[in-house]
With several copies, the nearest count.
Chain A
Amino acid sequence: MSSLKHDFFDANTGIIDRRMFTDEAIYQEELKKIFGRAWNFVCHQSQIPEPGDYFMNWIGEDEVIVVRDREGKVNVLLNSCPPRGNTVCRAELGNTRSFFCSYHGWNFDLNGSLIGMPGEDVFYRSGIDKKEWGLTPVAKVDDYKGFVFATLDPDAPPLDEYLGWVGRLGIDFMATQGEVEFLDGVQKNRIQCNWKIAVDNLYDWYHVKVSHGSAMKLGVLSDESMSPMEQMVMLGEYGHGIGGPGISEERYQESEERIRTGEGGKIWYDRDVVKRMRPGVAEQLGPVGKRSFGHPNIFPNLWVALTHQVCLRIPRGPYETELWWFAYRLKDAPEEENLFYQNSQNHLFGPAGLLEQDDGENWSHSTRGATGTLAKTRPLNLSMGLGADKMSQDPSGQVGVETVVNEHGQRWHYQSWQEWMNSESWQELMTNHSMPPGEIV
């Protein structure tokens, strides 16, 4: 039975069979079933404001051109030219009038349509249907509040439905802060780890004190902000999730009170509460969401960080992942606020980041270790908090669990991954996938 096909994760015990990280066949299947089906983040509207502006990205191992056409529409096109499959664009970004292939000179419009072929009539005498031989567009493109996503699967549900309230909330954390403007410059580097381990880690508030012990001792970030006792988890359909710091309504009101009485800043999250007190924001985030300061992951691989950054984890084979750090500023925010964030953006994450430089070897060794003849048979334990928490459904419909450091997010990530891998189509996935537990068993 296909539903038994992949059985690497046991939701009842939180035990993982680590072969999921190193098997080449599994990886090939992931490219089809995960990246080939999901809505993948490709860029933010503000990165390509003008007609002809383009930004290159990857959907699994397919390279795509994300380009704004003359009508202002964003198109996502496969970077592959019909005659021999040559790439028609080799820059990472730029502005162009059309895409001219360096092999035979076929020329494509900003929407991918074939607008020129050298000697079309003289050489292609039996004619060729130009409409049929443009650059292949992805199945669907849509954006949520400026964040552009694309999917290769025509059967994928609409983006809004795909994101669900958790995915949307993850983006709202950013979008409700004001007009988001992505900065020029994406930090890219490669880590010899499986992409799922990189994603797993964004939910991992247990590793911070140890993996990033040096940064904490230096006070790069405040102790409390880096490993707070109060945690909150929200899980969404199809694998989205938010995990990390989160506080009770009571604490939230205390914070508001501090801020009103000019004592804001006493606790690290006051800085965020201030913003959420701006008109309409708390309402948009909702009574549960507003109290979370955690890490959203838009399944499969978009991490929304607290530093006005998002990080894509692009698979490059079972043993390698490319990290892309995007940063943004708030157009209308006071300059010092943006400078405060840019400071973090240039010093915490990325290959030279005071935090992230210490992650790489742990991830690569966790992946590499999975190749040993004995090692690959040893179970991995992700049982932290398993069955220990109840999720409270808020009247608003938002469901969150207020708890301590845990591995709910990671388990949800792997469980969802397994459901995607065990479904042969979107239809099957829609019917088979688990709903986020109202109560985590």
Chain B
Amino acid sequence: MSGVEQLSVQERMLLKHEVEEFLFMEAELLDSRCFDDWLSVLTEDIHYWMPIRRTTTAREVEREFTKPGGMAFFDDDLDYLKMRVDRLRVGRAWAEDPPSRTRRLITNIRVTDIKGEEVAVGCNFKLYRTRLNSEEDSWIGRREDTLRRVDGHFKLARRHIFLEQTVILSQNMSSLF
């Protein structure tokens, strides 16, 4: 974490605040269904990835996650993310019609590294989704985000999502993390 440790605590505090402003704004874009605006805070080269998690013995716990480039629940570039957003516009995206109601609780935000214009950020999340007569889903886990400064503003350049669940308990994951 050398990148971070070179900063004074005041600098870290300020950076943390900027990161927080970005992440909360970005979460609100998703919760308030402003998906196009959300796309606009992503970098062209974003990698959006959620590996599959499996239960293993303590001895083989390093096999817990599938590896990058392997099977995953999400392994998207910007084009795929655009598709996920566009489908809501073109109609017949039944998983989201009626629209889900979501709420993202973002906590434990920690700046883990700084490289040039990029800031690596870890956070914990609970993504709550309810549909129809209050059917409920909760997805809980950790994110590893990379924010990149582009003309003075942060954009999301990488999002790796690590859910705690192995079997996904919901009938779909039509929400973005």
- Please list the residues of chain A having a beta carbon within 8 angstroms of any beta carbon in chain B: 90-96, 102, 183-193, 210-215, 217-218, 220, 322, 327, 342, 345-347, 350-352, 354, 356-364
Contacts and interface: CB of A to CB of B under 8 A. Distances in A.
Contact of A183 (B71, B94, B166, B172): B71
Given A346-B72, A351-B73, A352-B173, A215 B55 contact: no
A356 B93 CA distance: 11
Contact of B94 (A93, A190, A362): A362
B95 to A, nearest CB: 4
Contacts of A363: 171
A358 B169 contact: no
Interface of B: 50-52, 54-57, 59-60, 63, 66-67, 70-76, 80, 83-84, 86-88, 90-95, 97-98, 131-132, 166-174
Q: Which of B57, B63, B74, B167 has the most CB of A within 10 A?
A: B167
21 contacts: A90-B98, A91-B54, A93-B56, A184-B71, A185-B70, A185-B71, A186-B71, A189-B169, A189-B170, A190-B167, A190-B169, A192-B171, A212-B92, A214-B88, A214-B90, A214-B92, A217-B90, A218-B86, A357-B95, A358-B172, A361-B172
Contacts of B76: 347
A360 B55 CA distance: 18
| Among all A-B residue pairs, the 5 with the closest Cβ atoms | A213-B92, A185-B71, A360-B171, A189-B168, A185-B66
B59 to A, nearest CB: 8
Contacts of B54: 91-93, 185
Contacts of A187: 52, 71, 73, 168
Contacts of A358: 92-95, 172, 174
A212 B86 CA distance: 14
B67 to A, nearest CB: 7
Contact of A210 (B57, B92, B169): B92
A91 B83 contact: no
A92 B80 contact: no
Contacts of B63: 93-94
A95 B84 CA distance: 27
A226 B95 CA distance: 19
A321 to B, nearest CB: 10
Nearest to B80: A347
Nearest to B50: A352
B52 A215 contact: no
B172 A351 contact: yes
Given A102-B92, A354-B84, A185 B52 contact: yes
A190 B95 contact: no
B164 to A, nearest CB: 14
A345 B56 contact: no
Nearest to A105: B92
Contacts of A347: 75-76, 80
Contacts of B74: 346, 352
A190 B170 contact: yes
A27 B91 CA distance: 36
Given A96-B57, A184-B70, 6 more contacts: A91-B60, A211-B94, A213-B91, A214-B87, A354-B87, A359-B172
Contacts of B132: 90
Q: Which of B51, B59, B88 has the most CB of A within 10 A?
A: B59
Given A185-B72, A187-B52, A358-B93, A351 B87 contact: no
A101 to B, nearest CB: 10
A346 B60 CA distance: 25
A88 to B, nearest CB: 12
A188 B55 CA distance: 12
B147 to A, nearest CB: 23
B57 A94 contact: yes
B93 A214 contact: yes
Contacts of B83: 218, 220, 354
B117 to A, nearest CB: 29
Nearest to B67: A184
Nearest to B171: A360
B80 A351 contact: no
A227 B32 CA distance: 35
Nearest to B56: A91
B26 to A, nearest CB: 19
Contact of B168 (A188, A210, A354): A188
Contact of B174 (A190, A192, A352): A352
A251 B88 CA distance: 37
A186 B60 contact: no
B143 to A, nearest CB: 16
A188 B76 CA distance: 19
Contacts of A183: 70-71
Contacts of B98: 90-91
Nearest to B84: A354
Nearest to B73: A352
Q: Which of A96, A350, A363 has the most CB of B within 10 A?
A: A350
Contact of B171 (A94, A95, A184, A190): A190
Contacts of A190: 167-171
Contact of A94 (B51, B56, B172): B56
Contacts of A96: 57
B92 A189 contact: no
